[in-house]
Structure 1
Amino acid sequence: MSDLSRQNPQPDVPAAQPEAAALGHALRAMREARGLTLVEVSARIKYSPAQLGHLEAEEWSRLPQGASLRGLVRNYVRYLDGDIDAILILLNDVREADGPGRSAMRAGVRQKLQHTDLPPGKEPPHRTWAWVLLILVLLGVVGWYAIDRGWIPDDWLIFDWLKGLRS
């Protein structure tokens, strides 16, 4: 067993760090292969050259988080005609490795949301009656308004008390 551990030593550095270097390096290589500067790319995709530089340098603390970061990367790669899906997979790997508790946090949020969301067709009965009551009240108000304004002919008003609603 000790021979096996000597042949395959476990690195102290997490495996996601080479992927992180690959992301920034890949973006820089795609940009330089097209002969573009950060300023030129920035003018086209409407992100500052500083943000693009931080992205290529993998300075995650200086970049937006979540969907904004994904949008930045997606627009950058789309402009460079790169493989958007492959780069986003790299980005996901980098961001998950960057925050060790992120996936646990997402699972906790998902679990909380599952308790508050109702499955389709499982709405409590009091909510259904509230909607029915609301619709009936609105129909009553609209009907009274139509009678009051004279929009409904007298021969449609079959009850005398409905005719009395007219002012």
Structure 2
Amino acid sequence: MTDKQQDLITEDTVEQESRDITATVGGILQAAREAKGLTIDDIAGRLHLRPSLVRDIEADKFDGISSATYARGYVRNYARIVGADVSEVMACLAQQVPSEAEPAMQSFSRKTTHQARDSRLMMVTWLIAIVLAALLVLWWVQKSTMSTGIDLSRPSAEEVAAAVELGATAAGEPVVDTAALADAPADMPADVMVEETAVPAAIEPTTDASSSNPPLSADKQPAEPSETATASTADAADASLKLSLSGDCWMKVTDATGKVLINGVKEAGRSITVNGTAPFNLVVGAPQVVTLQYNGENVSLADYPAGKVARFSLPLE
């Protein structure tokens, strides 16, 4: 081998190495495109890309491509269209755009997505818990308000009616006289002070015909029995009873003839006036809510305990 041939081989090797060092993806593709006589618009049309993106590839600008995977796909198809060496182009691309950065980026993006989803789920869970707690507090407040407004010391209309139907005797309630109740000491237990009152009818004294009393003179003779009975009946028929209610109350009122004047539950705010033959028999379920007048005079029911059924007769003796 002559010195001249050896020099030529050396120049070719240096030129090849120089080309390998300076070769880039953009330069290889641009040279191949121009050798084919194609324009940038022709390549953009075949790759279905914007012409500006093709110019970026030939200028080795890959920042405008969303991922390295897309960049490799565009470059591979570009090389096939212009007839460039695909292996050489892809090797240059591997040096210019490292592929190992992509999995790390995808992993970070996937992790960020999961964290964002978990955060939204946690926020929704806390929101539901707060709403349920607020509803529970609201329900409790409403329940407490409703319970506070109910007077538990007063029996309901149903309880009063049931107690009256059963009767004080069946329930084991003792019967006392009104006078005895009024004279009861202040320290007497409440369960002994029963409100039922039984006022015995007045007993007319009888006069024996054989009595030793001297006969009355003509001017001192008593009135005829028929006239006395008629007058007493007339006076009794004039009796009136007025009841005013500050609350719902079950009551029953009958007169001396057995006629039922009032019977049933009466609403708060009502004022009821009845006339009949005295004495009146009264059964009052809630005496603490009743204001009573007999023939225009007030009758106090303060001695009857709340929550007890009051039974008494009017007029009181």
Larger % of helix: which? Answer: 1
Name the structure, 1 or 2, with higher relative contact order (CA <8 Å, separation 6+). Answer: 1
Larger % of strand: which? Answer: 2
Q: TM-score, normalised by structure 1?
A: 0.45
Quick check: which has more Rg, 1 or 2?
A: 2
